[in-house]
A and B are shown apart, each in its own frame.
Chain A
């Protein structure tokens, strides 16, 4: 064995600009936001340290619990629908050979659109009076809906919009997973007589486990901090009917200038997001094959 004449130099310094940038723009603001959450800080009104006061206030704020409930409905509803639909569509696309390029192009279009465009599109298509969605509902004999203007239905409309945009993303992840599965497992299963549903439930689905968990993590992060499409279409309304935690925090901070309380809400939400990521990363280890 010949040793290299010189020790290979360290390249560590090359990552310091990026690390410094993240420290200044992400880590410091995170700490700053935590500090703000300990203050009673309303612009031009008050500025005092109150410790956990904002967090205590949060526990008795009905809008906080409403926001938490809406965040949970949106998260669980959209995640389950998108995973089920994503797996179904991924399996479907895996079996289709024709016009692959065109199909892929159409599949990626929704989630590459700017959220503001999806929001504007939704406003026009789902308009209760003149929108084409209600026209189509009526023409097949279904009752029209208020969609985004409905207190009860607005959060489900948001789920519907987000599913239109992101189920194709899950489908493409699943498709990638299916294409990397070993074919010999299928051949062995076919000899054993496993076909159709049985093959799907006992062979395909377990092997897709890690892929599905990955898709779930990616969607979880986006769904828990969902902001754009809700704010663009309803600004959290009607009333507070679509004010998820993230929207409620934004409204508190920028509509009511209650900096301290808004920061407490945002720290709480961040904790939930990181908690979900941790849970899923544990799950990812369990289902790995």
Chain B
């Protein structure tokens, strides 16, 4: 290393440190601002110039949960996210096992098609289909449609894990006369458990976050927290405090779950195209 670079190294380190701090502030400040606004009184939230210091209050949360159906909406979100995660996994786990074992390409590509098509494309046909079979506005309709989101995510998260499974393990079990379902449940599944956990969490987050399908297909009794808070905006609710309290409640589950799988998050989201 020459003299010039060794002289500038500490300076470069400081410059980089400052850049990272600025980046962190830009990314995190709006989220923090939102969470804080949920605890501000009506006066503090519209105060100009905006203030960082205020007396926190729970009024917004009280209004949100007592005066609106937000608690029920949140419960609906949980039912739909959990239901579609389960349905997605029930379909994706055996499929990933078979696709990986037989080295197939087309079924995996088929599910990518589901991931890439604009959601609006399906809305009108689904709307008509669900009306015909009498499922309009039910939790079941939302669980089924959200499984269109969770199935490709689970499948593509699981594939590399199944690919890493030693073939001898499955082959010898088959020769010993195990039924293929037993092989999947007793032998393969325990080995791919880390992948299954990531698939479950990613599926839940994506189903929880999804807006469009529930916007059109949910009924009064199945309205999710996401759609309910969108309606708050539409109703011209000028109470920003409650709006931000709702946003904070909706943001909490995905953020908490994200902490658990940070390291595998990016590779999971990029459908196997990136090793994270």
Chain A interface residues toward B at CB < 8 A? 4-6, 8-15, 17-19, 21-22, 25-30, 32-33, 36, 89, 92-93, 95-96, 98, 101, 103-110, 112-117, 119-121, 123-125, 130, 132, 135, 164, 168-169, 172-173, 176-177, 180, 195, 211, 214-215, 217-218, 221, 224-225, 227-228, 231-232, 246, 249-250, 253-254, 259, 262-263, 266-267, 269-270, 273-274, 277
Contacts and interface: CB of A to CB of B under 8 A. Distances in A.
Contact of B244 (A10, A17, A29, A120): A120
B105 interface: no
B229 A105 contact: no
Interface of B: 5, 16-17, 19-20, 23-24, 26-28, 30-31, 33-34, 37, 46, 48-50, 90-92, 94-95, 97-99, 101-102, 104, 107, 110-111, 113-126, 128-129, 144-145, 147-148, 151, 155, 170-171, 174-175, 180, 184, 205, 208-209, 211-212, 215-216, 226, 229-230, 233, 240, 243-244, 246-247, 250-251, 254-255, 258-259, 262-263, 265-267, 269-271, 273-276
Contacts, number: 268
Contact of A124 (B123, B209, B215, B243): B243
B276 to A, nearest CB: 5
A103 B20 contact: yes
Given A25-B144, A124-B240, A246-B118, A4 B95 contact: no
B244 A9 contact: no
A112 B175 contact: no
A164 B121 contact: no
13 contacts: A8-B170, A18-B95, A29-B121, A32-B128, A113-B254, A114-B254, A121-B31, A123-B243, A124-B240, A124-B244, A176-B267, A253-B120, A269-B118
Contacts of B275: 176, 180
Interface SS of chain A: helix
Nearest to A126: B30
